[in-house]
Amino acid sequence: MEPLKKLKPVDTLSLVDKVEIRLLEFFKENNLGPGDPIPKELDFATNLGVSRTVVREALLRLRTLGLIESKKHRGMILKQPDIINNFERIMDPTLLGTKTLKNLFELRMILEMGMADFLFEHKTQKELEELEEIVEAEEATSTGKARFSLDKEVAFHGKLYQISKNDTLQRFQGLLLPVFEYVYLKETKNRNLDDYHYTKGTFVTHRMLLDNLKVGTPETFRNAMRRHLEPHFDHIFKNGKK
């Protein structure tokens, strides 16, 4: 007896799902881009063999994503979607699972480590002076004990993202900030980061990072940033092994 062939998975896509996918394929196949007009709702319905209601719902989804818009005297046209805006709508830490929060927190760490070359390429004297003001204000209010303060972290690292001159990165940083705050507060709830024992014995302060940005190299800055964030990396990796 020949072995039985496996059953193919049942297609669970709704008709609206399929039309949405087909519309996106149509845009790509015809090399349509932002500003280009697209066929009318009735034309889509006729060619796809579905009702206008189905097409209307599929188009509404694309409109919600910012892929299409209606223009007076022109009808519907394609537009460049604001990808960060779509993330912003759902980026609420209280609505995200633990695994997703952990992944987003790790993504923030990856970005911090990866932008060193852009900082050295784009930094200006004015921006270094602005960072200096941030660090001086931090030092003026420091008790000499606390190494980590969420407000200070946000001010200093937020400025670094601005120096990168990457608009998407800056907006993404702002989007990840609530997640960073949420995980940071959970992470420090039952432990004091000031008591953390650093592998090289010393904590890299914002002052040290600024001095490195002034006279160092992308590589030395990256190493300094890694030491600055060491407690977070250590916490992530230890929890990942559990």
Domain CATH for 210: 1.20.120.530
Domain end among 81, 105, 127: 81
Q: Residues 20, 59: one domain?
A: yes
Q: Residues 109, 172: one domain?
A: yes
Return the pLDDT at 36.
95
Q: Residues 21, 100: one domain?
A: no
Q: For residue 18, give both structure tokens.
A: 């399929």
Q: Specify if 3 maps to a domain.
A: no
Q: Specify if 8 maps to a domain.
A: no
Q: Residues 216, 133: one domain?
A: yes
Residue 27 belongs to domain with CATH number: 1.10.10.10
Q: Is 11 helix (H, G, I), strand (E, B) or coil?
A: coil
As a whole number of angstroms, the distance between CA 75 and CA 125 comes to: 49
Q: Residues 59, 162: one domain?
A: no
Q: Residues 76, 94: one domain?
A: no
Q: Residues 26, 130: one domain?
A: no
Of 117, 114, 108, the closest CA to residue 233 belongs to 108
Cβ–Cβ < 8 Å for 51, 7: no
Residue 78 pairs in a beta bridge with: 68
Return the pLDDT at 126.
97
Residues 6+ apart with CB under 8 A from 197: none
Return the pLDDT at 15.
94
Q: Specify if 30 maps to a domain.
A: yes
Q: Specify if 7 maps to a domain.
A: no
**Mean pLDDT, 10 residues at a time, the chain of 242 residues:** 62 89 96 94 95 96 93 90 82 82 88 95 97 93 64 88 93 80 66 62 88 97 92 79 54
Q: Residues 75, 99: one domain?
A: no
**DSSP secondary structure code for residue 3 in this structure:** P
Q: Residues 131, 235: one domain?
A: yes
Domain end among 40, 56, 81: 81
Q: Residues 139, 64: one domain?
A: no
Query: How many distinct structural domains can be found in the chain?
Result: 2
Cβ–Cβ < 8 Å for 86, 41: no
Return the pLDDT at 241.
59
Q: Residues 98, 69: one domain?
A: no
Q: Specify if 131 maps to a domain.
A: yes
Domain end among 59, 81, 103: 81
Domain region containing 72: 15-81
Q: Residues 27, 99: one domain?
A: no
